[in-house]
């Protein structure tokens, strides 16, 4: 679907034009003909710096908030290192990829996008995944998300999508949520958002942990080797703990019970020595092969399915140290997509070009001037030498008379570096074309990959997307907005999707006209197809009262900890509880301060007295019912099964492991599956 003049979107804009005749202008009063497309050399060419409307629009947007980030304000971060598996000299001259024995220091910041600094971690949202590599050639910032695509194709639309997603300006409601009129009004009028909407409404929008989510560079970049040969590259981060999510009910409850759930999880894991790890994988595309994919590589609303271009895992990221001071490091860190090193270069992605300007520009307001790279967290390990001596917030003290080039008073220093001496040289891409504001025809397919994503999901994942859309659009007050999303967006994605959502909203079901692409499904996109063979760092809530079976607890604890998991003992009150052997154990959490949604599984040991007491506690009954409804593993030994029965739960349901031979091994295997979606009676459980 085109968004140029004559398209459905253009017609809709005419329908809602201002009857007073007001025209869109710049701040200096110049009328604007097009605010959807940057000025480029040809429809697929580079964005031009002379585009004063783009620069003004982005500049004004970048400086709207002081001092909080306009987007990605809510974050958590950690230090660590990256280590390549092998030399990639055949692909890139970047030194970070040359020596597999070398560890490159990194600082990684995770974040939500829409909420303020005080919002909850678990809101449905995109998650930022930004990595600063302190390489010997200077800093390289790989600034990405946990979703491989974005809402828009051209950076000139970035202020619009964020303004629409943020709280509505007249009442500053709602916080950290897109379930409101302005966001879905924008979506309904901008069909290029369709693919990203599918990802955001999926379980990817509510990750279990920062440690258990993918990361993506989003854009197509270039690798350039020492011989000057360029190849296209897309970057992926793959967590070694697997990719796991929350369910929507958990996300909402966690926002109230522990708004810091994700940042606390990251901090505590590192403090305990459970260092989060990801592998860096790349998709390499030869320039000669790019056109054969049938995918526009310059379009940030598109991904390259792994079935077409497999992932090559090239190194490991390890986070092993928490920040010393949140403000000095996590808050003051400044990322920029334009921070690249020799061997890594840009493509003509118009969203990337705008980001290259925007990230640099926004620091002027947020960090008080042009010297933000001198702050300790931003300072490169590589030495810096230049003639930029002055400006606000200057930290280093330059010496000498000469602050210009060329000079003789300073001995000619600093000297230029040739490519052989490590100097950065842009790839000499040939560009031709007229200066126009236009999208190439190859950018006009907005629905095929949205449908590909939906069809690639498992049945439960599809149900979650449908339920998320029903929730979000159900919060929209204007019926015409809901109808436009259903009729002009969802109807072009999938017939089942549009039928279920329309019926859930009480709207007529439009005729579905799904757009198909080169491949119909991509199993790699489904979280259900990710590896699930580990319970490392998983937290298992244990319900106890006086008289619990000490042997049951001890045996299960030994098995869980050997597999890398952790037991958290929960009782009615803090203090201690006595086991059947007369020994007291310390309680970790009281029932009033926690809930099943904070744990990956639940264990109830035997012990007649303990279970009898738990059966009389509403919190304990609710705890197991809620975990059951959320499809988590439940393990019970001996009398522990009676608590499930008292809660109206089946002890033979999928994911429920009752006492018996090899209990520990079976319980661990059930936890590793993360969820047991095939509990057909879960919707009838009162939790």
- CB distance 179 to 472 below 8 Å: yes
- CB distance 468 to 248 below 8 Å: yes
Confidence check: pLDDT of 4 > 70? no
User: What CATH number has the domain bearing residue 219?
Assistant: 2.40.180.10
183 within a domain of the structure (yes/no): no
pLDDT digit string, tens, across residues 439-464: 999 999 999 999 999 999 999 999 99
pLDDT digit string, tens, across residues 80-102: 999 999 999 999 999 999 999 99
Give the three-class secondary structure for 88: coil
Report the mean per-residue pLDDT for the chain.
94
Distance CA 122, CA 213 (A): 13
The reported pLDDT for the residue numbered 2 is 40
The reported pLDDT for the residue numbered 1 is 38
Q: Let me know if 609 is exposed, middle or buried by CB neighbors in 10 A (0-12, 13-18, 19+).
A: middle
The reported pLDDT for the residue numbered 8 is 57
In this structure, the strands spanning 138-145 and 127-135 are antiparallel
Distance CA 488, CA 515 (A): 12
400 pLDDT band, cuts 50/70/90, is: confident
Kindly state the DSSP code that residue 685 receives in the 8-state scheme.
Answer: S
The reported pLDDT for the residue numbered 25 is 87
pLDDT digit string, tens, across residues 256-304: 999 999 999 999 999 999 999 999 999 999 999 999 999 999 999 999 9
E strand segments, 335-467: 344-345, 435-437
Residues whose CB is less than 8 angstroms from the CB of residue 251 and which lie 6 or more positions away in sequence, other chains included: 122, 123, 124, 206
Lookup: tokens for 423: 């100097």
Confidence check: pLDDT of 12 > 70? no
The reported pLDDT for the residue numbered 526 is 97
236 within a domain of the structure (yes/no): yes
The reported pLDDT for the residue numbered 60 is 84
Confidence check: pLDDT of 247 > 90? yes
Residue that wins the pLDDT comparison between 395 and 545: 545
Residue 37 catalytic? Answer: no
Lookup: tokens for 174: 């709602």
Confidence check: pLDDT of 19 > 60? no
Confidence check: pLDDT of 6 > 50? no
Distance CA 557, CA 536 (A): 14
Catalytic residue of the set 37, 53, 72, 371:
72
15 pLDDT band, cuts 50/70/90, is: low
| Number of domains forming the structure of the chain | 2
660 within a domain of the structure (yes/no): yes
The reported pLDDT for the residue numbered 687 is 81
437 within a domain of the structure (yes/no): no
Torsion sign across C-alpha atoms 77, 81, 82, 85? negative
225 within a domain of the structure (yes/no): yes
User: Which range among 22-36, 293-307, 467-481 shows the weakest confidence by mean pLDDT?
Assistant: 22-36
Distance CA 142, CA 110 (A): 12
Residue 72 catalytic? Answer: yes
Measure Cα distances from 309 to 304, 358, 456, 609 in Å: 7, 31, 17, 59
User: Which range among 28-37, 57-66, 625-634 shows the weakest confidence by mean pLDDT?
Assistant: 57-66
Range of the domain at 77: 43-146+202-282+313-374
The whole-number average pLDDT for the span 659-674 is 94
Q: What percent of the chain has pLDDT over 90?
A: 83
Confidence check: pLDDT of 249 > 60? yes
Confidence check: pLDDT of 11 > 80? no
Give the three-class secondary structure for 134: strand
580 within a domain of the structure (yes/no): yes
Q: Among 349, 374, 399, give the residue marking a domain's end.
A: 374
Distance CA 81, CA 83 (A): 7
The reported pLDDT for the residue numbered 5 is 42
Confidence check: pLDDT of 79 > 70? yes
Bond prior to 406 in cis (omega within 30° of 0): yes
13 within a domain of the structure (yes/no): no
Distance CA 513, CA 253 (A): 37
Lookup: tokens for 84: 């390549």
Kindly state the DSSP code that residue 510 receives in the 8-state scheme.
Answer: P
Torsion sign across C-alpha atoms 190, 192, 193, 197? positive
Give the three-class secondary structure for 268: helix
E strand segments, 275-374: 277-286, 312-321, 344-345
Q: Among 356, 374, 392, give the residue marking a domain's end.
A: 374
Distance CA 603, CA 456 (A): 34
Distance CA 260, CA 661 (A): 39
218 within a domain of the structure (yes/no): yes
The whole-number average pLDDT for the span 543-562 is 97
Q: Let me know if 291 is exposed, middle or buried by CB neighbors in 10 A (0-12, 13-18, 19+).
A: exposed
pLDDT digit string, tens, across residues 305-347: 999 999 999 999 999 999 999 999 999 999 999 999 999 999 9
Q: Which pTM does this prediction carry?
A: 0.92
The reported pLDDT for the residue numbered 282 is 98
Q: Among 374, 390, 425, give the residue marking a domain's end.
A: 374
Name the one residue in this structure whose structure tokens are 């790019």.
290
Catalytic residue of the set 145, 339, 356, 373:
145
């Amino acid at each position: 679907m085109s968004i140029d003049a004559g398209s459905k979107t253009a017609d809709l804009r005419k329908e809602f034009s201002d009857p007073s005749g007001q025209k869109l202008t710049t701040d200096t009063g110049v009328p604007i003909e097009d605010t959807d497309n940057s000025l480029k050399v040809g429809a697929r060419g580079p964005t031009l710096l002379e585009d004063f409307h783009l620069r003004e629009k982005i500049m004004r947007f970048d400086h709207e908030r002081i001092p909080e980030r306009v987007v990605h304000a809510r974050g958590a971060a950690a230090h660590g290192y990256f280590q390549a598996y092998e030399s990639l000299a055949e692909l890139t001259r970047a030194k970070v990829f040359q020596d597999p024995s070398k560890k490159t220091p990194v600082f990684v910041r995770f974040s939500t996008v829409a909420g303020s600094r005080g919002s909850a971690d678990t809101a449905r949202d995109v998650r930022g995944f930004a990595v600063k590599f302190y390489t010997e050639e200077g800093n390289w910032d790989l600034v990405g998300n946990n979703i491989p695509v974005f809402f828009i194709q051209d950076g000139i639309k970035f202020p619009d999508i964020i303004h629409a997603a943020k709280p509505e300006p007249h009442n500053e409601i709602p916080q950290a949520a897109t379930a409101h009129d302005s966001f879905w009004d924008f979506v309904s009028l901008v069909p290029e958002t369709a693919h990203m909407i599918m990802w955001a409404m999926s379980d990817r929008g509510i990750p279990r942990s920062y440690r258990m989510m993918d990361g993506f560079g989003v854009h197509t970049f270039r690798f350039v080797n020492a011989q000057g040969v360029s190849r296209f590259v897309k970057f992926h981060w793959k967590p070694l703990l697997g990719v796991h999510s929350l369910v929507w009910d958990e996300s909402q409850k966690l926002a109230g019970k522990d708004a810091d759930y994700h940042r606390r999880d990251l901090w505590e894991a590192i403090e305990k020595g459970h260092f989060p790890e990801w592998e860096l994988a790349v998709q390499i595309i030869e320039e000669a092969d790019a056109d054969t994919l049938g995918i526009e590589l310059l379009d940030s609303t598109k991904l390259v399915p792994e079935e077409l271009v497999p992932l090559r895992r090239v190194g490991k990221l390890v986070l092993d140290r928490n920040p010393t001071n949140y403000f000095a490091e996590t808050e003051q860190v400044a990322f920029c997509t334009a921070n690249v090193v020799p061997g890594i270069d840009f493509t003509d992605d118009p969203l990337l070009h705008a980001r290259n300007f925007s990230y640099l520009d926004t620091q002027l307001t947020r960090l008080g001037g042009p010297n933000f790279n001198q702050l300790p967290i931003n300072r490169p390990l590589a030495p810096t030498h230049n003639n930029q001596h002055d400006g606000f917030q200057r930290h280093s003290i330059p010496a000498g008379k000469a602050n210009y080039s060329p000079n003789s008073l300073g001995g000619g220093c600093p000297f230029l570096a040739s490519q052989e001496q490590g100097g950065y040289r842009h790839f000499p891409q040939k560009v031709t074309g007229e200066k126009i504001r236009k999208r190439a025809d190859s950018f006009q397919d907005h629905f095929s990959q949205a449908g590909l994503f939906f069809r690639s999901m498992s049945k439960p994942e599809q149900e979650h997307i449908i339920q998320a859309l029903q929730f979000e659009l159900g919060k929209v007050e204007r019926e015409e907005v809901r109808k436009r999303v259903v009729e002009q967006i969802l109807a072009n994605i999938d017939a089942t999707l549009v039928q279920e959502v329309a019926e859930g909203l009480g709207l007529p079901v439009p005729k579905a006209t799904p757009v198909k692409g080169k491949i119909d499904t991509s199993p790699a996109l489904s979280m259900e197809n990710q590896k699930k063979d580990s319970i490392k760092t998983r937290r298992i809530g244990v319900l106890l009262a006086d008289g619990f079976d000490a042997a049951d607890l001890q045996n299960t604890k030994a098995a869980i900890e050997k597999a890398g998991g952790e037991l958290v003992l929960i009782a009615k009150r803090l203090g201690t509880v006595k086991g059947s052997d007369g020994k007291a154990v310390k309680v970790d959490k009281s029932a009033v301060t926690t809930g099943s949604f904070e744990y990956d599984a639940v264990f109830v040991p035997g012990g007649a007295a303990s279970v009898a007491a738990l059966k009389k506690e509403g919190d304990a009954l609710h705890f197991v019912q809620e975990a059951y409804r959320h499809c988590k593993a439940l393990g019970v030994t001996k009398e522990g099964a009676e608590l499930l029965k008292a809660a109206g739960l089946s002890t033979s349901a999928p994911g429920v492991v009752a006492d018996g031979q090899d209990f520990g091994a079976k319980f661990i295997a059930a936890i590793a599956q993360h969820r047991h979606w095939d509990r057909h009676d879960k919707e009838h459980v009162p939790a």
